[in-house]
Chains A and B, each alone.
Chain A
Amino acid sequence: MSAPYLPAGLPAPAPQPDGLDAAYWDGTREHELRVQRCDHCGACQWGPEWICHRCLSFEMGWKTLAGRGRIYSWERVWHPVHPALADHGAYIVALVTLDDADDARMIGNLLGDPQQTVQIGAAVEAVFEDHDEGTSSYTLVHWRVTT
């Protein structure tokens, strides 16, 4: 497995104790990308919430996606705001519109050359990055431009 995109020492994600996002994080461990889908009206939404934004039902289920999307926006971070990033150099954060998810968007890192020219609208695919060091195991979802 290739090296993680960002160095060790950043906060690790953990599912909420109340279970709201458990299915998402469980999915990442299985390399599946899941977002909420309302059991009542079928609308997808992200980040997770207890209620459907469209029809106000509390019956929220989940949908597994193919892991494709398009870059909606992006930024190249230079200034390190966390000690773990002190000597890392620039990195890219992307906001990706997910295909087949009612335009739900998700944050991730954009893999590849940190100095690459980023095109809003570029097609991307999900890349799962497992972390099994230390006491917490988790998987991040990054993105890579598809040709």
Chain B
Amino acid sequence: MSQRTLRGAVAVAGIGETEYYKRGRAPETELVLTLRAILCAAEDAGIDPREIDGFASYSNDRNEPSRLAAALGLPELRFSNMQWGGGGGGGSAAVANAAAAIHAGLADCVVVYRGLAQGQFGRFGAGQRRPTLSGDAALWYPYGLMSPAQMFAMRANRLMYEHGIGHETFRAISLASYHHAQANPRAVMHGRPLDVETYESARWIVEPYRLYDCCLENDGAGSHNVPDYATASFKTLAPRLYEMAGVTPSDVDVLQSYENFTAGVVMSLIEHGFCKPEEANEFITVENLLAPEGKLPLNTSGGNLAECYMHGFELQLEAVRQLRGTSTSQVPDAVVSMVTSGPMVTPVSNMILGSGEALG
């Protein structure tokens, strides 16, 4: 009987990206950027783009596979997939959906992509401007609870209350991302390092988030009535990931963990077993998070906070680079490379990439 697993079934053959621009400054349309990135990935994979026969994306990407297929002159479009819901939480799931399609024989060569040019379409997830609202929004917006930061700050406060997590722990996440961005010339925050004083003196967005705790472009609505509230939503998912991959947290050489907000990363780390809640303040320090020497190198190209705001897709690319040895902050001998996508939204997703050596 065949195992129901993706372990060792599919390979990432190529990655591609365009230059990253500040919001509103992209010189080309969103569709053109997406096509360029796809062509770049095809070249990196050493294939003719017309071998592509499927697409997978997430977070309500606007660039439809049918249009991409027509634009590229593809002879066949066999897989056209959108991960449903969860915004940036779907980044790893999009990769998994593509992998499952290939493994099941639905397609042979699938591109997973994220194309975003917000200046062209208006700010992603902008607060409601309608005069009246119904549904869940009616229970939140009139009280001034509208933005993603406002949706999730209460989870961070609850996390601090339940487990005594200090704000320095959140700060370490931010400092690590910014540190790695300084080695990455592609990063939007390259040349703009962050130090403790700047972090601490930055304005509050919504307590306990200061400016540098927040990825600025985000989506996400929260549920405030889930029994388990101060969670990144990985508690049941992380064990499944490790089981499929056949590894434990101590086997993970390098981690890309989606920072919508620094507190979300802290929750992600705890829920993926890298430390217990009561150990978080001691374990999650800048020193432990930096490549190449840290115990858990994190967001090694700068992440959502400091590389670019591609709703986490840049994390997928960096996870691949670490296994190829081509990262700007390379972890020596990395063979197990992990991504967590979310956090605090639903559904979330995660993935582990392994080199041939890791597969054994």
Contacts and interface: CB of A to CB of B under 8 A. Distances in A.
A binds B: yes
Interface of A: 6, 10-17, 21, 45-47, 72-79, 81-82, 85, 90-91, 93, 95, 103-109, 120, 136, 138, 140, 142
A88 to B, nearest CB: 9
A109 B208 CA distance: 17
Most chain A Cβ neighbours within 10 Å, of B129, B137, B150, B206: B206
B105 interface: no
A81 B146 contact: yes
Nearest to A80: B144
Contact of B157 (A45, A75, A138): A75
Interface of B: 127-147, 149-150, 153-155, 157-158, 161, 203-208, 224-225, 227, 229-230
B144 A82 contact: yes
Contact of A93 (B133, B144, B208, B230): B144
A16 B139 contact: no
Most chain B Cβ neighbours within 10 Å, of A21, A93, A108: A93
A107 B137 CA distance: 11
A104 B134 CA distance: 20
B154 A75 contact: yes
- Identify the 10 closest CB pairs spanning chains A and B, nearest first: A13-B138, A75-B153, A73-B154, A78-B204, A73-B158, A76-B207, A81-B147, A14-B132, A79-B205, A11-B133
A136 B132 contact: yes
Contacts of B132: 11-14, 136
Contact of B134 (A17, A77, A79, A85): A17
A109 B154 contact: no
Contacts of A47: 136, 139, 225
B206 A10 contact: no
